[in-house]
A and B are shown apart, each in its own frame.
Chain A
Amino acid sequence: MIKAILIFNNHGKPRLIRFYQYFAEDLQQQIIRETFHLVSKRDDNVCNFLEGGSLIGGSDYKLIYRHYATLYFVFCVDSSESELGILDLIQVFVETLDKCFENVCELDLIFHMDKVHYILQEVVMGGMVLETNMNEIVAQVELQNRMEKSEGGLSAAPARAVSAVKNMNLPEIPRNINIGDINIKVPSLSPF
């Protein structure tokens, strides 16, 4: 079972936090900090598995993470999950994000945190892997988006929002990143 999914950037700023097991608020923050501390000091050429942060559980738990340009995607799982399976699940998740946001970048995650959550809900439900098929996930998300549009244009098209955000006066201009195996160019933001 997946215990938590943490996404933070290279500076440890949380971008998406989802716990599937209850932890008190301050403990959650502590876990994030500890996880960041553990993950960030690792080179890119070491393995993607880390055993046991002391907070989230003992030897049964491990952190499985991937590092994309400015973001760390960390899944904290127990022994009932396959390590390589989760590693690819992260890839599926990121690819899905990329499809939904059309070149996903850190900004998308910040400004559309809610949408990222909805996408995640279609991948992992209550700590269990629900769907690993990217097309299926995208289809579900689209279904919801269509409904959103049909709600009378109350909220404008996402594209507009994204462009509004991206034109904001930000310290640095976004740049493209590489999502590992699949070679999809993903724009990404410099750290906040």
Chain B
Amino acid sequence: MSDVVEKTLTALPSLLSLDSQPGSGKLSSTSKLGNLIRGITELTSKHEEEKLIQRELSSIKEQVASPNTSMRQMKELMVRAIYCEMLGYEASFSYIHAIKLAQQGTVLEKRVGYLAVSLFLNESHELLLLLVNTVLKDLQSTNLIEVCMALTVVSQMFPKDMIPAILPLVEEKLTHPKEIIRRKAVLALYKFYLIAPNQVQHIHNKFRKALCDKDPGVMTASLHIYLQMIKENPEGYKDLTASFVTILKQVVGGKLPMDFNYHSVPAPWLQIQLLRILSLLGKDDQSTSEMMYEVLDESLRRAEMNHNITYAILYECVKSIYTIHPKAELLEKAAKCIGNFVLSPKINLKYLGLKALTYVVQQDANLALQHQLTIIECLDHSDLVIKRETLELLFRITNAQNVTVIVEKMLEFLRLSKDDYTTIDLVGKVAELWFIETMNTVFSLGGDMMQPDIPNSFLRLLSEGFDSTEEDRQLRLFAVDSYVSLLQGEPGRLPQRFLQVISWVLGEYSHLREGLEPATTLRLLAKLLDMKHTSSETKSWVLLAMSKLCEGPDCVSLAQELSERHGGSLDTVLRQRVQELRHLSEDAELRASVLPRDAAQEPLEVDSSLSFLDGFVSEALSAGAAPYKPPHQRQEELAQAKALSLEPYGLSLPISMSSCSLADRQSPTLLSMSSGLSGNSTDLSHKGGSTTLKLDGVKRVWGKDGYLAQKEPVEESAQVEVPSPLCSPSRQGGADSTHSQTPTPTPTPEPEKEKQQLASSLFVGLGSQSSVCLMGKSEQTPQRFRRKAKGQGSSSGASEQISNSHYSTQSTVDNLLCNNLLDSTVTSDLAVSTPEQTPQLSQEVATTNGTCDAEQDLIEETDPGNSPSLIRANSTVTADPPAHKDPDRPKDSCLSSHLPAELAGLSHSEIIPLCSSQNLDLSACHVQKEDALLLVIFIENSSDSDIEQIGGGEKPQCVGVPVFPDGEEASGSRGAGWDGVLPAAFWGISSHAVLLQTSINQFHQVHCFLPSDLLLSMALLTQSMLVSCFCLTSLLFLCLGRPLCVSTEEYGTLWLAFSQDTKQNLALLNDGQDPLTATLDVLKNKLQLHVVDIIGAEGIVACRLLQGQPCLMHCRVHAGSLAVWLRSPVPDLPDCLLYHCQRALQEH
């Protein structure tokens, strides 16, 4: 290769002579390119390649410039130049020669020339002008190939300004006898339409002619144009719908020549194009859509699943069906089709299936539910593209309940993915979803305590936005949506600052949401003004937002009304704002100039010298006003006048304040110090000692950094409430499907279960209310579920708050049974009708109630002994075990002997008789397990009659009673779950009922839910009796408190994390040698506390609620008593604990 240059220089004459010998000439030229390629192949480094190509290029350059180079040689050179360009080396010197070649060469050379031109140049390249004449000439040529080449190059790139020059010629070609020419002409015109739509406006009729061309190829080409034009203006082409439908019908019906078949599918690409056009035409247009139902159905039917390309058609079909005005029958078929896609083992189809789901899911969320398990699988698919598509799908179904899980998944994916594009895209989405949601939480929780710069920077972020405008728009839209819905809810609870943020955002961006009338927003905002708690600062924010928004007559009247109402406000700022609002609402122009839209990020010019007031000031001065004096000057004058200094008073207060606030948020040690400083204490020295002592152990850890890890998993506790597709119409079917999901009878494999859990957390909140839960409660991973903050709607309230298990595993049968029982209509026939289901039922009940194994065992154990269940008892009408009639002590022991073996060893409370009626006695006790508190209810048949009668006789009175004075939100809706428990609890005198297990996490929740749960379970008897029985709430701590084992260091961080303080002095026990240790031991034993550490005269103790919030206690021996200081995230907890401490010590 090194001799190329030399060779070309010396061999020019011989090259010329070679021209006369075509064969060898071809060979030599080929080998030149071949040499080049081979040379490149042999190279090892990029650097060498560069050198070689540069050499090659200079050789080419030399040759193309030489006047002796023939056109044919030029052609060969041009191919080499193209090759070099492809590798990324510029050969700009050859551009002009390429044009020359296209101009002057024979057809073959022209072809190379055109090719080189179209590869080298772009639409705006100046050399292109030189080509216009050539193109003109070739368009008029009689040689078909020349015309084709010209049309090709025109459609590839043509200077916009030059289009008029050739347009008539191209138009002329639409009537050319050769179809290939017509086809290319149509595409060339399409290209013109894209570049300069105005210039081809006059030939729309000719497009129609092309559409009706007898050659299907030309017609196909014209569809490109129509697709584009219809996309831009669907209204303008509705009249063509019938034509498109006819065409598609013919194509689908196989009316085209066989030539157009591809793998025996008639013209698939044409079909795809037509389907796209139809979907554009039928969108939001019922009458147009009706025209195409038939043909869509036909295509769906005809597309047999045999080849890739039929799937392409099906996919388009499905998309069309979901785009146009819906028709139930078609939708059903399309949904089935999507199912086929999603479930297909072919990964390309799976991808498209997910895409289709993503498209469809906004209209029909249930479809996603049907495929939730597949979706979950796709989430873990090895192919990142599939994964990403799945996330996209999840993104569409995000709602308030699953946002956390989805964002978590997205972040997980982000961690894996290194691809920039994906990252940018996803980050945007995460931000959109998560950011606003989180900030909402931050605002509503942080409330008014927050530093003002947090909302400020949030707003700045929102207004400045990120890099892409589309993302910004989305983010703002999302914010607007979420705020509007917040305001529609109960804005009264929101903190002032949050309200300010909301009103700013709405004022600024609510116009982004189409369909949101400004008047609606205004009314929402006006509501804020009328609220009692709204501060005047917030009010002025609100008014400002309103002045940005008011537009249209509605708003003017509203503004009038407001100005009347608030115009008399005492607050001058408010009054001013109201006035502004009124003026601006009346004068749109003024408003536009004062408050331009989207101007938030434009810098405001602030004239700090207030120079614009100069005129006013000088006028006022000349009118005799006193000149302005700065405050300090005034102060001085005042001081001189009165000769009295107020300064000393100013200082003293802040000092004491600061010491207090310092102490407030510090560790107990520091408090001891500062309280010492404040001067009340008598034994300063002692305290100093204790301080230093303490510092040894704790100082480093009780720093400033907060430690929250302990808290989080606790708060995010279990919740499953998943509508599922398993709500099958047949009862038996429902039972079966659920049956298979209940862990007990056929334990689902672990990964499967995880998937289901994931599914439940992802698809929560989708679909209709009536659906039944898919998920079985599984103990192992309760944290995966989310507890909904508020009950939602009718069905959920109850089930959520009771341990999740109830609804979750309950089968339709179960529900049905229970409901019937509750309705108290007939139990027997139902029971008779389902005897074979009974064992399963009781099993299920067992699982539902007893999340702990003990419970299952319990039932299993009792089963053989006693008569198995109520239902069995009913159907067989056998008497149940004799009743225990003695009302007093013996009964207790009697009953306690009925405690299941697993629970027998555990400490249980006294068995309290709850209530009794003629026939039934109820008693209860609670049993403390390590991880749960079980409430065992003894239900006793005290009459001689059998249970059936009792069931029939008692229940009617109790239906509809389940109301608890405090637990309104829990009442009414809760039912089936608990009632489902009861039948199983009727083993004569048997025990049953579990209450609080691991999912109970917060004390106050326990506070309000426990009693009402109980009540409901007790709804068989009257309400008043129960209320009296369950005033246990204050005792709750005794049942629910568990030691919290933390190290001293963890204790330190926890301590700093909590702010609720309670302080009190307790009596100190003096019987032991070390009063502190003795006292703490007593407390530890009685109240299940954990003594973390005892240092000198101070001790730290920790406990928590069962699976719930911690409470920390710090004790110090001080002047014969024990000064305790408690902290906990739950306000009531310290008080409660204190109360029990006092009692424990008294009792001791």
Contacts and interface: CB of A to CB of B under 8 A. Distances in A.
Contacts of B155: 125-126, 128
B272 interface: yes
A46 B385 contact: yes
Contacts of A118: 111, 115
A9 to B, nearest CB: 11
Contacts of B26: 155-156, 160-161
B22 interface: yes
B34 A147 contact: no
A156 B30 CA distance: 11
A114 B115 contact: yes
For the residues of B in contact with A, the DSSP-based class is helix
A144 B262 CA distance: 24
Contacts of B272: 82, 85
Interface residues of A, number: 73
B348 A48 contact: yes
A170 B41 CA distance: 9
Nearest to A146: B145
A33 B868 CA distance: 73
B293 to A, nearest CB: 22
A55 to B, nearest CB: 9
B243 interface: no
Contacts of B382: 43, 46
B616 interface: no
B311 to A, nearest CB: 6
A153 B22 contact: yes
Interface in B106-125: 106-108, 111-112, 115, 119, 122-124
A155 B108 contact: yes
B259 A135 contact: yes
Contacts of A14: 86-88
B312 A84 contact: yes
Contacts of B85: 25
SS of A interface (majority): mixed
A108 B31 CA distance: 14
A126 B108 contact: no
A101 B59 CA distance: 30
A173 interface: no
Contacts of A148: 108
Contacts of B34: 111, 164-165, 168
A133 B899 CA distance: 82
Contacts of A51: 385, 388-389, 421-422
Interface string A137-166: 000100110011001111110001100110
A96 B350 CA distance: 29
B385 A168 contact: no
B309 interface: yes
B383 interface: yes
Contacts of B419: 38
A52 B90 CA distance: 27
A40 to B, nearest CB: 13
B268 interface: yes
B1118 interface: no
Contact of B312 (A43, A82, A144): A82
A114 B122 contact: no
Contacts of A83: 312, 315, 348, 351-352
A183 interface: no
Interface in B143-162: 144-145, 152, 155-157
A175 interface: no
A176 interface: no
B893 to A, nearest CB: 70
Contacts of A16: 86
Contacts of A177: none
A100 interface: no
B347 interface: yes
Nearest to B228: A80
Nearest to B106: A151
B22 A113 contact: no
Interface in A62-94: 80, 82-85, 87-89, 92
A51 B425 CA distance: 11
Interface in B362-401: 382-383, 385-386, 388-389
Contacts of A80: 227, 276
Contact of A53 (B152, B190, B421): B421
Contacts of A20: 156
A45 B88 CA distance: 31
B126 to A, nearest CB: 14
A47 B350 contact: yes
A132 interface: yes
Contacts of A84: 308-309, 311-312, 315, 348, 352
B309 A113 contact: no
A167 to B, nearest CB: 10
A123 B156 CA distance: 13
Contact of B383 (A26, A46, A54, A156): A46
B662 interface: no
A25 B88 contact: yes
Contacts of B227: 80
Given A25-B90, A111-B33, A147 B421 contact: no
Nearest to B88: A29
A170 B112 contact: no
B420 interface: yes
Interface in B308-323: 308-309, 311-312, 315-316
Contact of A113 (B83, B183, B260, B385): B83
Contacts of A164: 27, 30-31, 34
User: Which 3 pairs show the lowest CB-CB distances between chains A and B?
Assistant: A84-B312, A126-B155, A22-B122
Given A84-B312, A113-B82, A161-B26, 6 more contacts: A14-B87, A46-B386, A47-B386, A51-B385, A82-B316, A128-B155
22 contacts: A14-B87, A14-B88, A22-B124, A22-B157, A25-B90, A43-B382, A46-B382, A47-B347, A47-B348, A82-B312, A82-B316, A87-B308, A110-B37, A113-B79, A125-B156, A128-B221, A132-B269, A147-B145, A151-B108, A156-B27, A169-B38, A192-B41
